[in-house]
């Protein structure tokens, strides 16, 4: 098991422990422990699906905490992470011990609702950029719920976006506080370029024409244009393309579905959107459970 898989497994285990799923008093007192049931996860609104794999993962982990027999999770071949589904459409069907379904129902829905909400919002941004006839890519940020980053960023990919840095060792991004605390942009950029490892790129965030000129003069690999208007970004893109034709260009700062197309038309390579993971509304999903006939 690689480190990403271990991280996700730990996250899912923590969710089950938090909910005391193996000590579900209500289910223990009201449902025959031998009863088997079928449950359908249903979309109560149109959305882009993400997190189907967590269903089997939760049930597997729950079975280790409280043996509950075999289970099966099936879905239509056309339903998988990243697919658009309509209101009322079944996303997946679970066949398992009834108690195990009831005890894991909330954690399964909580995670899938959040992930599908992120995927859906990401897809709306991606669609807006495509409608502007732009090849600009939508990026996420590190503005994620602590502990959920791996799943949040996976959900972004399900919606058609691209991951930026996973964590602080996953790339060099010089931001305004690094600049102010490190002695100014020229100094920190020079140190980063000199100290990086082979293959690492150095991105620098700029907010003013002066900082942009310094980033260009310092030969930054990538330039992040932060909190500029579309007109200012367009001018900056033209200047960077002339001076550093190989540099990647990113725009960021309070991007919305109303403004993202205007920024995409400026010619930037990427637009980063913190709202994808810090403000996405959870999708409304439900679980319909029926007892299996003997």
* Enzyme catalytic residues: 106, 143, 175, 205, 226
Q: Which residues pair with 36 in a beta bridge?
A: 97
Q: Is 253 in contact with 281 (CB distance < 8 Å)?
A: no
Cβ-proximal residues to 80 (8 Å cutoff; 6+ apart), any chain: 49, 52
Report which of 25, 10, 93, 17 is spatially closest to residue 57, judged by C-alpha positions.
10
Q: Is 150 in contact with 80 (CB distance < 8 Å)?
A: no
Q: Is 66 in contact with 24 (CB distance < 8 Å)?
A: no
Q: Which residues pair with 93 in a beta bridge?
A: 40, 74
Number of Cβ within a 10 Å radius of residue 149: 19
* Alpha-carbon gap, residue 253 to 193, rounded angstroms: 25
Q: What is the CA radius of gyration of the chain?
A: 23
Q: Which residues pair with 269 in a beta bridge?
A: none
Looking from the CA of 240 toward its CB, the CA atoms found within 13 Å total: 31
């Amino acid at each position: 098991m690689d480190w990403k898989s271990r991280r996700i497994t730990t996250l899912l285990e923590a969710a089950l422990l938090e909910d005391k799923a193996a000590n579900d008093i209500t289910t223990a007192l009201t449902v025959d422990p031998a009863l088997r049931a079928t449950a359908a996860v249903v979309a109560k609104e149109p959305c882009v699906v993400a997190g189907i794999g967590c269903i089997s993962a939760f049930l597997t982990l729950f079975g280790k905490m409280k043996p509950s027999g075999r289970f099966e999770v099936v879905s239509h071949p056309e339903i998988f992470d990243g697919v658009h589904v309509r209101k009322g459409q079944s996303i997946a069907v679970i066949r398992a011990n009834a108690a195990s379904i009831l005890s894991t129902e909330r954690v399964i829905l909580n995670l899938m609702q959040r992930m599908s909400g992120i995927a859906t919002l990401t897809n709306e941004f991606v669609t807006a950029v495509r409608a502007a006839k732009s090849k600009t890519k939508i990026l996420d940020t590190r503005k994620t719920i602590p502990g959920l980053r791996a799943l949040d960023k996976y959900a972004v990919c399900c919606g058609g976006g691209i991951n930026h840095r996973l964590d602080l060792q996953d790339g060099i991004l010089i931001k305004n506080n690094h600049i102010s605390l490190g002695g100014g942009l020229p100094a920190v950029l020079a140190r980063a370029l000199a100290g990086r490892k082979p293959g690492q790129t150095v991105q620098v965030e700029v907010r003013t024409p002066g900082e942009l000129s310094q980033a260009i003069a310092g030969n930054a690999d990538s330039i992040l244009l932060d909190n500029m208007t579309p007109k200012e970004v367009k001018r900056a893109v033209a200047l960077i393309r002339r001076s550093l034709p190989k540099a990647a260009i990113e725009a960021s700062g309070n991007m919305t579905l109303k403004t993202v197309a205007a920024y995409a038309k400026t010619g930037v390579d990427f637009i980063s959107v913190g709202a994808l993971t810090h403000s996405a509304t959870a999708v409304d999903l439900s679980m319909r459970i029926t007892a299996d006939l003997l």
